[in-house]
Amino acid sequence: MRPISAPVPATRFRRMRRSAALRALAQETYLAVGDLIWPVFVRDGVDVVEPIASMPGVNRLSVDRVVKAAEEAAGLGIPAICLFPYTDPALKTEGCEEAWNPDNIANRAIRAIKAAVPEMAVMTDIALDPYNINGHDGYVRDGIILNDETIEALVKMALVQAECGADILGPSDMMDGRIGAIRQALESAGHRDVAILSYAAKYASAFYGPFRDAVGASGALKGDKKTYQMNPANGDEALRLVERDLREGADMVMVKPGMPYLDICRRVKDAFGAPTYAYQVSGEYAMIRGAALNGWVDGDKVMMESLMCFKRAGCDGILTYFAPDVARKLRAGWV
């Protein structure tokens, strides 16, 4: 139903903007700490805090430091942390065997966080690129990304992560059929309560550059990912992918990147009503942080406004590197 407004002076929209109290009464969308998932990068070592040059303020952390980050997140009320591994290049192979090693860096971090902060939901990444000498999310043969063979590896990866205590699995690879295969394997292995947050509409975007630096995949990547990630020009395809993943057993779905694809977030939420998330990806973060550091924008205000936009577009939550900063602002009463 289209809202009806009388002409001026019977209706003056500025009446409800006149004071902070009136603006609060008329506010349609709210951002809360419970909307946040904090992506963190984990690497080998002890007491390591390694800055990532292309993501100012974001670091690679050793497992002990990741545990401290999880404790910080829990203290701020952030409900979930998402782990991305920086794998020693010596462990990267064409077979990607390190991906399902129970003692790889990501799986050690899962166990450590769940032991120290059991109430924290731990989300993981399921894709082969951190372990692949070719830098791709799937197996490569003669320059072709193999779909079905990759799924077999992803299933092994998912089962090990579930056994290590992961609460949410995040298949980010975009192979066709991987959600159904992972869900069936989880059910068969008794991991019925492990949730899947599918990267259902993941675009072949130029906004991922700093992330690839962070996980050490930039130099390894040969070619591009356009044969398995989505064409940025397509919108209807995103709805078909989301519907497929929900039918295959995804509990939640994600649109990635975030702000350049707010129209897709809204369409997904309106079409399916399923828990819908967006990832404010590394390039988005770097642009905001970089502009703020140069004094070109008010960093706090742009940060908060950007996340409010996700909520207004229908997102139930956001993966953002700003999560701790946002949580602190909200706890301090930011409006």
265-294 pLDDT, tens digit each: 999 999 999 999 999 999 999 999 999 999
**Residue 73 pLDDT:** 98
pLDDT reported for residue 219: 67
Residue 105, pLDDT score = 97
Per-residue CA distances from 169 to 12, 23, 191, 236 (Å)? 49, 39, 11, 25
Band of residue 4 on the pLDDT scale cut at 50, 70, 90? confident
Distance CA 104, CA 87 (A): 8
pLDDT at 8: 87
What are 154-209's pLDDT values in tens digits? 999 999 999 999 999 999 999 999 999 999 999 999 999 999 999 999 999 999 98
Mean pLDDT along residues 241-247: 98
Q: Does 335 or 167 have the greater pLDDT score?
A: 167
Domain 31-331 classified CATH 3.20.20.70?
yes
**96: CB partners within 8 A, 6+ apart:** 128, 131, 132, 139, 153
* Residue 222: per-residue pLDDT: 78
Q: Are 39 and 197 in contact (CB under 8 A)?
A: no
* CA-closest candidate to residue 160, choices 247, 242, 102: 102
- Examine the pLDDT at 254 and tell me if it is beyond 70: yes
What is the DSSP secondary structure assignment for residue 7, as one 8-state letter?
A: P
**CA 297 – CA 70 distance, rounded (Å):** 30
- Please state, in angstroms and rounded to a whole number, the distance separating the CA atoms of residues 265 and 283: 18
For the cut 80, the answer to whether the pLDDT of residue 72 exceeds it is yes
Between the CA atoms of 139, 142, 148 and 150, what dihedral angle is there, to the nearest 10 degrees? 0
pLDDT at site 209: 84
- pLDDT of 1 over the 70 cut: no
On average, the pLDDT of the chain sits at 95
Give the percent of the chain with pLDDT over 70: 99
Q: How much is the average pLDDT of 119-142?
A: 95
Catalytic residues: 202, 256
Cβ–Cβ under 8 Å, residues 195 and 169 = yes
